[in-house]
Amino acid sequence: MSLLLGVNIDHVATLRQARYSGMLDSPNAEPSPLEAAKDAQEGGADSITVHVRGDRRHMQEQDAFEIRDQIKLPLNFEMGNTPEMLDMVLRLKPDFVCLVPETREEVTTEGGLDVTGLYESLEGTVSKLQPSRSIITYWC
């Protein structure tokens, strides 16, 4: 399996969060990341990318699970290297995992992952992802 046209729908969630922060259960909370994923699928996308950040400022855990359940395209899950995200990804079972740097100060991911400096902790995360064999892991 390879990535061809992957559509990242994180900023659809950014707009929703800006408009409806604290009111996500409202039937008016839009735009919907799930609907954006459906549109991308209908438009010919080969995969969908989501990034649930530790601070949940964009995509929410529920969004990722709804997309996984309702979209039939491969799912690429971007994640910070934390135990919380590792637990989520092992439950979500995406097709791809992209380990990304994440700091609270940045608006969105702003740089590459320091693989050399973080090698030991990354090695632990990757070793926990490897047994599933159905998840392809890489870093950005």
Q: What is the pTM of this model?
A: 0.81
Residues of the chain scoring pLDDT < 50: none
Evaluate whether residue 60 is within a structural domain.
Answer: yes
CA-to-CA dists, residue 128 to 1, 32, 76, 91, 95, angstroms: 21, 32, 17, 12, 15
Q: So what's the pLDDT on residue 30?
A: 80
pLDDT digits (tens, 9 = 90+) for 98-129: 888 876 565 555 566 666 666 677 788 888 88
What was the pLDDT predicted at 47?
95
Q: Please report, for the domain that includes residue 81, its CATH number.
A: 3.20.20.70
DSSP secondary structure code for residue 51 in this structure: E
Instruction: Give the residue from 97, 38, 93 showing the smallest Cα distance to 70.
Output: 38
Indicate whether 13 belongs to any domain: yes
